Amino acid sequence: MNKFLHNLGVPSDWEVCDIFGFGPDELAIVPRPVASVIMLFPYNDAYKQRKNEEELQLKDKGQEVSDDIYFVKQYVHNACGTMALIHSVANNRDKIQLEDGILKRFLDEGQNMSPSDRGEMLTKAEDIINTHREIAIEGQTQYKQRKNEEELKLKGKGQQVSDDIYYIKQYVHNACGTMALIHSVANNRDKIQLEDGILKRFLDEGQNMSPSDRGEMLTKAEDIINTHREIAIEGQTQPPDPEDMIPYHFVAFVCKDGCLYELDGLKFDPINYGPTTPDSLLEDTVSLIQEKYVVQDPDNIYFTLLALSKCY
């Protein structure tokens, strides 16, 4: 995210950093000032229902939205991370002095446009879209390069691996979460007393196999695969294709004219959540997220928070 921002012309002293928790100790270590809070969460039925109910309520009752809010409708598929960054920077130009470049030109050109027209303009902003793609591809390339370098290094120097390690090669697409859980349990059977069932049978059967053979066995373990799929689609009206990536969504929260706004390009308008200050933006946003997202979707643990902060 930071390389993308800096390539667009955001000064290098502004960076996106992790927020490690909701408590005061975790929030205290976030660099200040905080220009925006960015949230990543599953794009699921709970979100869609909340979005529809919110839209009906606000269209009925109305809300006050500052004329200074820079809002962009999202029409580009899989660009919510880019949208959150654009919203974060566009609504903090009094703090963030943009260098001449891609983002400054885009924001200046769209200054007097409607949110819909800005969204249409973004669909044609090849410089922003290409920068997004280059960074995304680079990240994938770096992982593969790091993996290959690590493999060559270890094959050259060697390493000591315990004979008791239960390791499985992954051959099932989109099953890395399942793999992590199996590895976690399989290597702690002295602590975790498994009940007779699917996982115990799988681990026992693969006990004396090679990692590759265990991986091949997992590709045919219909009971584990079906359990994985059932849990993945639980609560969804339309089961996803197993080959599809799980969808997630980014939104940004900013302080503008003394109010806390949620900026989500898939929603009909910015959402005004009431008073805040630049100094209390982080704490107020975390409280809002706990109330509006965490409490209303208690079974979902997949929330990630980031802050766009000035790092001296």
Beta carbons within 10 angstroms of residue 123's beta carbon: 13
**Identity at 226, one-letter amino acid code:** N
Distance CA 65, CA 159 (A): 60
Angle of the 80-90 helix axis to the 102-109 helix axis, nearest 10: 70
The token pair at 83 is 């949208």
Residue reference for tokens 């809010």: 69
Distance CA 10, CA 92 (A): 11
**38 DSSP β-pair partners:** 252, 306
**Residues tagged active-site:** 80, 249
**Identity at 213, one-letter amino acid code:** D
Contacts of 205 (CB under 8 A, 6+ apart): 217
Contacts of 101 (CB under 8 A, 6+ apart): 8, 9
Distance CA 64, CA 270 (A): 10
Angle of the 176-186 helix axis to the 198-205 helix axis, nearest 10: 70
b/e code 211-228 from CB counts within 10 Å (16+ = b): eeebbbbbeebeebbeeb
